[in-house]
Chain A
């Protein structure tokens, strides 16, 4: 292990790479800054979602986030460039009281649960409740059910953790999201499914003003 191989949790700062659609360097487009926070139970894959979005990679053993990690990503959406400032928070319950520090002033939140863990949706619901009462009143909230790769009956996937079945039916979560006015997605940080949509739809939302 070389002494430079380890960087801070926060250090995967990405260059201004557009969300896959080619770089945008037009000087006349001033990026709109969007402060976004990720919340959700420990190990549901918050950091992995960010890593997928920012670096388009996946790490099997992502270290737990301590406190919170900060990353940025620019991406171009139709006529505007958005610079996401992403706060990826720690999931363990005892870090809960620190969360307001990160979601204060946030314009968007992605509340993540793990489709193979029913309890993680309960936790997500309590985050939504907290955000709707305590955060910026115009906050755009997206609900993301992660790890769908584990429940897709996909051809010979590496047979390790595949036996864990789905515990949160799509319809149930979707109904909940509708009721509470949330954007809804199912994602796989591992395979990449749905990840970009989460961020682009947030970026397109009317509440995210220039």
Chain B
């Protein structure tokens, strides 16, 4: 049985992706390494067609509507890309043995060796009540018809099957498939083990924090009462903390990881965590949690838009939504509602992306305020945080109860509050799309970052033990300069604290005193001391290095804000004598209390360095005076100079005296340059912006991939049904394609055609997929999301019920709850 669909086809280095024009009737992402054969079809009407046979013997026929040139280019590109992907094919067989769907189709009763903890410790919930067997059967049919794991094609029935709750053993695989983690796992074969091996036995702040929480993650699930379960959780969390040391570990990750590990193998869970942290909920678990805060602002924005009355009420009684909602988002509802329900939400979340978090949250508010007149108007009567939390708590604890206990219709009486929540959420808030979430994230991120930044700044400044004699304003400027220097000097380093390294210190000092501004010559490091390309020592670097060591009170190899403030304070608020002593000590490299010949010469070089930009003639004379006098005063016996002699030599020269008396101290200037202010961002925020900017840049065809911090992990498209969230990525793939082929004019890889505009495409591609006749059955026009009439809740419930209760074979589906 054939069916033909119009849509957009996207080809990248590693994947072929298709989205039907209506965005829901069909979509797939086909990794090129699963393609067995591609043939040209010379059919009568359509000259430009390809037939693609994939690993699971599914045949897809692509008809490309366009010029012959376009088609030829497409063929050439796909051929080249296929060649490049062949190397992955050898891994397919062993990879597929880790996919439950494979085993399932061979023998439904057979178990596979890898999978979640549930295989050993049991899955939560009553299998009977969950209708697990029946659901599995439906999935077998689906997978037989529409491909599976790496080759799965999504038709609308897919999302229906997901929405009624995934069967236990298949759940993990569908999660990783929907999130795209499965593709990461495939192309990063062995990386999880390698991370374990490379970091075995190492400890860090993150591993300590993880250790504290291991026994505190779903403690009531039997696996987490055993060593085996705890070790599994430990391995996944620590491996992740090594993969992304800047993020490390955030409480809530333990909750999410322990939950998904019930259904997923360690490696599956690891890659799913990656997709979560990098793309689905970026910044949620970062050290500033800016992503979570950002989404709270967006959520509030939605509430204001969709339920202005309620929003106004919250404003009037001064209740902040996030006191209740932040934990929902951070732990993906896992800790907020009964576990089984939370898994159902996760099913949808992985399928549709972060918008689900918003939809469910909004729905909870909608149901609990008078707007739908179902559960009363409780939220509209609250007057403080306490009542607010209480209403929600009560609601969550009764999710399994009938939503309409008094309805005459038996079917409707059977609908639980949770059913209602799931049904209405996607209908009522269907216009909350992944794009709109992403758009809002972009709009609000600067505000959030600014707030976090000023909060952190206040906190850090407050916690300084010693502010020397600096004014508040000076401290604030030093703080900004301190972090600006780190911002620009961003280097991938393992340290998580904000200590400043030597290279950054050069930049920092240059930003507060003109003599310390160094030209960035081509430096080579020889025995630790920088040299220029002629191999000459660079006095300036050496002098500043000396200061660095001097500032580093704790000898940790890095300077804290406190170190810098104390160090500068001693110079600026010291006196003539203390500064002379400082210079003496700086140059007394062996700390024996004497300067020897070599050290005296270095001192004079330091002077010359500091004075180098002065436009007077005085300094040259003074420095040569200094050298002459110094050698006169050195102990003629062993040629060394003590501090008192040094003092005398300095004070004998008016120029030097002036320098130590005031010149040196006043060479430090704390002026806030306006353009730097906005850039005073922490490192991880910088990262986020960076990758965001990259995505944006990629959209416009500029490849700046080399700048991406995590470039060692090949990206892969995710498979969100809405398919919009993966546009950026697809775009980027297409971009890579462009640059590798130098023939970028054709339409199919023009990035603009991938953007969600529905006009202007002249090169349509239609897909024919050859499938068995079973396919037909699923094509009833059911969708939870967006539909025509808005006929009130009851009719909606009725409609959904009827759609759910009967399938074409007359079997009853009802609700699997």
Q: Which residues of A contact B (CB under 8 A)?
A: 1-11, 13, 33, 42-43, 59-68, 70, 72, 85, 87, 90-98, 100-102, 126, 129-130, 133
Q: Is the CB of B389 within 8 A of A3?
A: no
The interface-forming segment of B35-43, B393-401, B665-673, B711-719 is B393-401
Q: Is the CB of B400 within 8 A of A67?
A: no
Q: In whole angstroms, what is the CA distance A171 to B154 when docked? A: 67
Looking at the assembled complex, report how far the CB atom of A33 sits from the nearest CB atom of chain B, in whole angstroms. 8
Known: A7-B396, A129-B462. A63 touches B339 (CB 8 A): no
Q: In whole angstroms, what is the CA distance A93 to B809 when docked? A: 57
Q: In whole angstroms, what is the CA distance A94 to B293 when docked? A: 12
Within 8 Å CB of B293, what residues of A?
A: 97-98
Interface membership of B618, Cβ < 8 A: no
Interface membership of B701, Cβ < 8 A: no
A and B contact pairs by CB, cutoff 8 A, 13 listed: A1-B124, A1-B221, A4-B397, A9-B335, A43-B213, A61-B216, A62-B216, A66-B331, A85-B384, A91-B251, A97-B289, A97-B293, A98-B289
Q: In whole angstroms, what is the CA distance A172 to B475 when docked? A: 31
Most chain B CB within 10 A, of A60, A66, A94, A95, is at: A66
Contact of A8 among B213, B335, B384, B400 (CB under 8 A): B335
Looking at the assembled complex, report how far the CB atom of A100 sits from the nearest CB atom of chain B, in whole angstroms. 8
Count chain B residues whose beta carbon lies closer than 8 angstroms to a beta carbon of A.
55
Looking at the assembled complex, report how far the CB atom of A39 sits from the nearest CB atom of chain B, in whole angstroms. 13
Interface membership of B125, Cβ < 8 A: yes
Q: Is the CB of A7 within 8 A of B397?
A: yes
Which 6 A-B residue pairs are closest in the complex by CB-CB distance?
Answer: A3-B340, A61-B219, A67-B327, A67-B326, A70-B389, A64-B251
Contact with A along B323-346 (1 / 0, CB 8 A): 110110011000111111100000
Within 8 Å CB of B335, what residues of A?
A: 8-9, 63, 66
Q: Is the CB of A126 within 8 A of B463?
A: yes
Contact with A along B380-421 (1 / 0, CB 8 A): 000011100110110011001000000000000000000000
Q: In whole angstroms, what is the CA distance A10 to B221 when docked? A: 19
Q: Is the CB of A5 within 8 A of B330?
A: no
Within 8 Å CB of A3, what residues of B?
A: 124-125, 338-341, 400
Q: Is the CB of B287 within 8 A of A94?
A: yes
The interface-forming segment of B143-151, B184-192, B451-459, B721-729 is B451-459
Looking at the assembled complex, report how far the CB atom of A91 sits from the nearest CB atom of chain B, in whole angstroms. 8
Q: Is the CB of A130 within 8 A of B125?
A: no
Q: Is the CB of B393 within 8 A of A10?
A: yes
Q: Which residues of B contact A (CB under 8 A)?
A: 124-126, 209, 212-213, 215-222, 250-252, 254-255, 286-289, 293, 320, 322-324, 326-327, 330-331, 335-341, 384-386, 389-390, 392-393, 396-397, 400, 452, 455-456, 459, 462-463
Q: Is the CB of B220 within 8 A of A1?
A: yes
Q: Is the CB of A94 within 8 A of B288?
A: yes
Looking at the assembled complex, report how far the CB atom of B735 sits from the nearest CB atom of chain A, in whole angstroms. 34
Contact of B386 among A2, A62, A70 (CB under 8 A): A70
Q: In whole angstroms, what is the CA distance A101 to B293 when docked? A: 12
Within 8 Å CB of A1, what residues of B?
A: 124-125, 220-222, 339
Within 8 Å CB of A10, what residues of B?
A: 324, 389, 392-393
Q: Is the CB of B330 within 8 A of A66?
A: yes
Q: Is the CB of A92 within 8 A of B330?
A: no
Q: In whole angstroms, what is the CA distance A4 to B220 when docked? A: 12
Within 8 Å CB of A70, what residues of B?
A: 323, 385-386, 389
Q: In whole angstroms, what is the CA distance A3 to B252 when docked? A: 20
Q: Is the CB of B219 within 8 A of A63?
A: yes
Contact of A11 among B255, B288, B341, B397 (CB under 8 A): B397
Within 8 Å CB of B390, what residues of A?
A: 13, 72
Identify the closest chain A residue to B339 (Cβ).
A6
Contact of A130 among B220, B339, B397, B462 (CB under 8 A): B462
Q: Is the CB of B338 within 8 A of A97?
A: no
Most chain B CB within 10 A, of A4, A6, A42, is at: A6
Contact of B220 among A5, A91, A94 (CB under 8 A): A5
Identify the closest chain A residue to B212 (Cβ).
A43
Within 8 Å CB of B125, what residues of A?
A: 1-3
Within 8 Å CB of B209, what residues of A?
A: 42, 92
16 more CB-based (< 8 A) A-B contacts, given A67-B330, A98-B293: A1-B125, A1-B222, A4-B400, A7-B393, A9-B336, A11-B397, A61-B216, A63-B216, A63-B219, A67-B323, A70-B385, A72-B390, A96-B459, A97-B289, A97-B452, A97-B455
Q: Is the CB of A133 within 8 A of B288?
A: no
Within 8 Å CB of A94, what residues of B?
A: 250, 286-289
Within 8 Å CB of A13, what residues of B?
A: 390, 393
Q: In whole angstroms, what is the CA distance A40 to B288 when docked? A: 18
Q: Is the CB of A101 within 8 A of B251?
A: no
Q: Is the CB of B393 within 8 A of A63?
A: no
Within 8 Å CB of A33, what residues of B?
A: 386
Within 8 Å CB of A90, what residues of B?
A: 251
Within 8 Å CB of A67, what residues of B?
A: 322-323, 326-327, 330
Identify the closest chain A residue to B215 (Cβ).
A61
Within 8 Å CB of B217, what residues of A?
A: 63
Looking at the assembled complex, report how far the CB atom of A35 sits from the nearest CB atom of chain B, in whole angstroms. 8
Most chain B CB within 10 A, of A11, A65, A85, A130, is at: A11
Identify the closest chain B residue to A125 (Cβ).
B463
Q: Is the CB of A97 within 8 A of B288?
A: yes
Within 8 Å CB of B216, what residues of A?
A: 43, 61-64
Q: In whole angstroms, what is the CA distance A9 to B323 when docked? A: 13
Looking at the assembled complex, report how far the CB atom of A4 sits from the nearest CB atom of chain B, in whole angstroms. 6
Q: Is the CB of B339 within 8 A of A92?
A: no
Looking at the assembled complex, report how far the CB atom of B153 sits from the nearest CB atom of chain A, in whole angstroms. 33
Within 8 Å CB of B289, what residues of A?
A: 94-95, 97-98
Known: A64-B213, A85-B385. A133 touches B456 (CB 8 A): no
Known: A66-B330, A96-B459. A8 touches B251 (CB 8 A): no
Q: Is the CB of B396 within 8 A of A101?
A: no
Q: Is the CB of B255 within 8 A of A63?
A: yes
Q: In whole angstroms, what is the CA distance A10 to B396 when docked? A: 10
Identify the closest chain B residue to A86 (Cβ).
B386
Q: Is the CB of A64 within 8 A of B219?
A: no
Within 8 Å CB of A126, what residues of B?
A: 463
Known: A7-B396, A61-B216, A67-B326. A130 touches B459 (CB 8 A): yes
Contact of A101 among B254, B323, B397 (CB under 8 A): B323
Q: In whole angstroms, what is the CA distance A8 to B219 when docked? A: 14
Identify the closest chain B residue to A59 (Cβ).
B219
Q: Is the CB of B385 within 8 A of A66?
A: no
Q: In whole angstroms, what is the CA distance A93 to B452 when docked? A: 14
Identify the closest chain B residue to A100 (Cβ).
B455
Looking at the assembled complex, report how far the CB atom of A76 sits from the nearest CB atom of chain B, in whole angstroms. 19
Within 8 Å CB of B219, what residues of A?
A: 59, 61, 63
Q: Is the CB of B462 within 8 A of A133?
A: yes
Q: Is the CB of B463 within 8 A of A42?
A: no
Q: In whole angstroms, what is the CA distance A127 to B140 when docked? A: 56
Q: In whole angstroms, what is the CA distance A60 to B255 when docked? A: 17
Q: Is the CB of B322 within 8 A of A66?
A: no
Identify the closest chain A residue to B252 (Cβ).
A66
Looking at the assembled complex, report how far the CB atom of B323 sits from the nearest CB atom of chain A, in whole angstroms. 6
Looking at the assembled complex, report how far the CB atom of A66 sits from the nearest CB atom of chain B, in whole angstroms. 5
Identify the closest chain A residue to B123 (Cβ).
A1
Looking at the assembled complex, report how far the CB atom of A150 sits from the nearest CB atom of chain B, in whole angstroms. 15
Looking at the assembled complex, report how far the CB atom of A144 sits from the nearest CB atom of chain B, in whole angstroms. 19
Most chain A CB within 10 A, of B125, B213, B287, B393, is at: B393
Looking at the assembled complex, report how far the CB atom of A185 sits from the nearest CB atom of chain B, in whole angstroms. 23
Q: In whole angstroms, what is the CA distance A79 to B255 when docked? A: 43
Q: Is the CB of B393 within 8 A of A11?
A: yes
Most chain A CB within 10 A, of B293, B336, B389, is at: B389
Looking at the assembled complex, report how far the CB atom of A14 sits from the nearest CB atom of chain B, in whole angstroms. 11
Q: Is the CB of B455 within 8 A of A129?
A: no
Looking at the assembled complex, report how far the CB atom of B352 sits from the nearest CB atom of chain A, in whole angstroms. 23
Q: Is the CB of A68 within 8 A of B338?
A: no
Contact of A68 among B327, B384, B396, B400 (CB under 8 A): B327
Q: In whole angstroms, what is the CA distance A2 to B286 when docked? A: 33
Within 8 Å CB of B459, what residues of A?
A: 96, 130
